[in-house]
A and B are shown apart, each in its own frame.
Chain A
């Protein structure tokens, strides 16, 4: 795929995608404005957009969005750090990993969203309880990826590093860690998404601020348009976070083969 035809193809694809979105919004609009679907339950796309725009114009949204994003970033950072540390430790210590294995499996199998009420009791209705929920979601993704990453370090690369004189600390720093971080980065998209889910669900279950709180309030008032506006804003920011992750990944995983770079050789 290259040259003018590829460029034209990409433009057409983009146009097609935008048309699809507009089409769905149009159908939604027509169905609700003609009364086929009741406006009370399904809202109206124009009002949803208007509500979302009003949030940004009045500036009401920024505080709530800021809190949700802070919760997301904290949950992501702490969850990733813990996952990396525990993953490395268990992968390199067979005794500890066989001792803890059933408990880790159990903790992972448990639907952790139900921990939200407990965290609310422990940490209150502020930021902390949401961060805690996000951490439990992020931790396991990162943990399993790091564990896998360390287990799948090529034994030849390892033996080679040892023959080149690496001490066990140097092996950890120069072989295990890079291998594990590459796995962490490949799970970044999922874990950022999970941190976001943790923040919003936590807010939704009990809070005094945040986008989840706005949605909860609107729902209490049967204001379906505002609920949709909240969902719209959340989706937009989830996409933005995902985009940031993609940029980060491109910078940090330069050494990994991609289809494009293999072609270049």
Chain B
């Protein structure tokens, strides 16, 4: 495989097994034999029932978690330790509460040895790009949930990662804020195409954002069970695209597959 053709991120036959909680508890396999390839500049969404090990997969891709079996390749190279080419947008609050918005955005540059003044200037530019001009001096607790997500987005993108990993980043936001953020994300992404792995349990969000949707089975031992290219035209408006016939057709196709898994996951949780 030539380097140019290598996927930006490749998970090869990943299995993640955790030891049981008690002494007698059997080990728990969160992800089983999962492969996923993301081309440079491709936006891939991964959907699946809640608790199916989606976040585990992302942690493996980030290098925060070593898989029990399988390989992670980044631009063709085997990943050891943290994935330095990836940015990670977490589901829950990840900003440092003791730093204001500007210093939070500048944190990555500072960690990598950039000067204070230069880092702050670039952080201010990024705050403008995510629509937070003039909010640099606010501390995270002085910002709304949507604003904090924007700060996180700027914090991740300022480092110009080749791969962006997103773990249900907008799930805590209200519907309106969420659609604004989704459009904003598409705008930023199309200006500067990065490979994106976007994890969500919201199928509409997945279809409206992505080039490709991967469906995972219900846990435990999650694995991919379906893959759907999304051929909707870009640029998209996430609210408008949901009304097009093609969107509805894709939604119906994917939902048919996903529904069975959601029900399975449900039954397993009710009767463990």
Would you call A98 an interface residue if the criterion is a C-beta within 8 Å of the partner chain's C-beta atoms?
no
A256 interface neighbour in B64, B96, B141, B144, Cβ under 8 Å: B141
Would you call B73 an interface residue if the criterion is a C-beta within 8 Å of the partner chain's C-beta atoms?
no
Given contacts A174-B107, A182-B98, A255-B139, contact A163 B62 (CB under 8 A): yes
Assembly CA distance A157 to B140 (angstroms) = 12
Contact B64 A163 (CB under 8 A): yes
Contact B139 A160 (CB under 8 A): no
Contact B98 A178 (CB under 8 A): yes
Contact A159 B64 (CB under 8 A): yes
Would you call B92 an interface residue if the criterion is a C-beta within 8 Å of the partner chain's C-beta atoms?
yes
Taking CB atoms and an 8 Å cut-off, the chain A residues in 251-265 that contact chain B are 254-257, 261-262, 264-265
Residues of B within 8 A of A159 (CB): 64, 88, 90, 94
Assembly CA distance A165 to B96 (angstroms) = 14
18 additional A-B residue pairs with CB within 8 Å, beyond A156-B92, A157-B97, A256-B141: A156-B94, A157-B95, A159-B90, A160-B95, A161-B96, A161-B107, A163-B62, A163-B87, A164-B108, A164-B156, A166-B107, A174-B107, A182-B98, A255-B98, A256-B97, A257-B142, A261-B142, A265-B143
Task: Tell me how far the C-beta of B211 lies from the nearest C-beta in chain A, rounded to whole angstroms.
Answer: 24
A164 interface neighbour in B64, B97, B107, B141, Cβ under 8 Å: B107
Taking CB atoms and an 8 Å cut-off, the chain A residues in 234-261 that contact chain B are 254-257, 261
Residues of A within 8 A of B156 (CB): 164
Residues of B within 8 A of A167 (CB): 111
Contact B90 A156 (CB under 8 A): yes
Contact A164 B90 (CB under 8 A): no
Question: Closest chain B residue to A265 by CB distance?
Answer: B142
Task: Tell me how far the C-beta of A41 lies from the nearest C-beta in chain B, rounded to whole angstroms.
Answer: 53
Would you call A175 an interface residue if the criterion is a C-beta within 8 Å of the partner chain's C-beta atoms?
yes
A160 interface neighbour in B90, B98, B100, Cβ under 8 Å: B90
Would you call A170 an interface residue if the criterion is a C-beta within 8 Å of the partner chain's C-beta atoms?
yes
Question: Closest chain A residue to B112 by CB distance?
Answer: A165
Contact A175 B96 (CB under 8 A): yes
Would you call A190 an interface residue if the criterion is a C-beta within 8 Å of the partner chain's C-beta atoms?
no
Top-4 shortest CB links A-B = A160-B94, A164-B108, A257-B141, A178-B98
